[in-house]
Amino acid sequence: MKAAAATAASVAVSVGVVLLLVPMLGGQPDGPGFWMSVLCPLLIAGPASTWQFHQTETIARQRDAIARMHVKLEDAHAELKRLHADLGEKARTDALTGGLNRGAFFEALEEAAAHGNGPMALIVADADHFKQINDGFGHLVGDEALCRIGRVMADAIGDSGVWGRIGGEEFAALLADTGRSAAIGAAERLRLAVAETKLLADGRPVPLSVSIGVACAQAPCAPMELFRRADDDLYRAKSGGRNRIVIDGREVDPVAA
């Protein structure tokens, strides 16, 4: 349609020129000259206009296609970034409990110990008699018990630190800017909350409790030495009767905590 309109306009201009100029030159605008003024634009302007408009439309379609491809590429890039972030998060997360996995937790511990500036505390907790839970109630109930302990730990720690599952039934929490008394208080809240957790399997209550070791230090400090102290006190708590807290080799009095 555009090419036809352009051709018609060319014919009109050509005929108009002939009708104006030929009389001015003393001639008559008729005969072959007049028809040439009609045929020449048809033979030249028609194909030229058709080709030109076809090329313009082709370029416009290609430009639109490139723009759409660019939008799709940006969407794909954003989706790739999201998937990469999700994979990175999953690589750091314990799939069962939602806390940090062992590698990610120890990375956080090393970072805090190396670059922190102030008091910090490490809490290491282990589910008591966990093998008996698995043997007596089944592994699915055991998994649910670990999930419940993880939720309790997340609530007890809150935004004051990070926590993770560092072994089969072993958990740890790192508290920044936390001194001895605050660390003992957080550990006792965790111990009580786990002991008060109601978990039933086939109508039978599943006993839950944790033994806890606590170690405190002034950052910067040696991360593995801090962990060794907390882990040693954890096993003192377990050998001392379980469902208790030990710090610096001494059991914490629940009333005092």
Q: Catalytic residue numbers?
A: 169
- Closest among 160, 104, 154 to 125, alpha carbons compared: 154
Measured CA to CA, the distance from residue 247 to residue 256 in angstroms comes to 13
What b-and-e string marks burial along 232-244, b requiring 16 or more CB atoms within 10 Å of the CB? bbbebbbeeeebb
**CB distance 123 to 175 below 8 Å:** yes
Alpha helices in 160-205 (DSSP H): 180-195
**CB distance 121 to 216 below 8 Å:** yes
- Residue with tokens 């890039």, as numbered in its chain: 77
Q: In DSSP terms, which residues pair with 164 in a beta bridge? A: 100, 172
Measured CA to CA, the distance from residue 208 to residue 195 in angstroms comes to 6
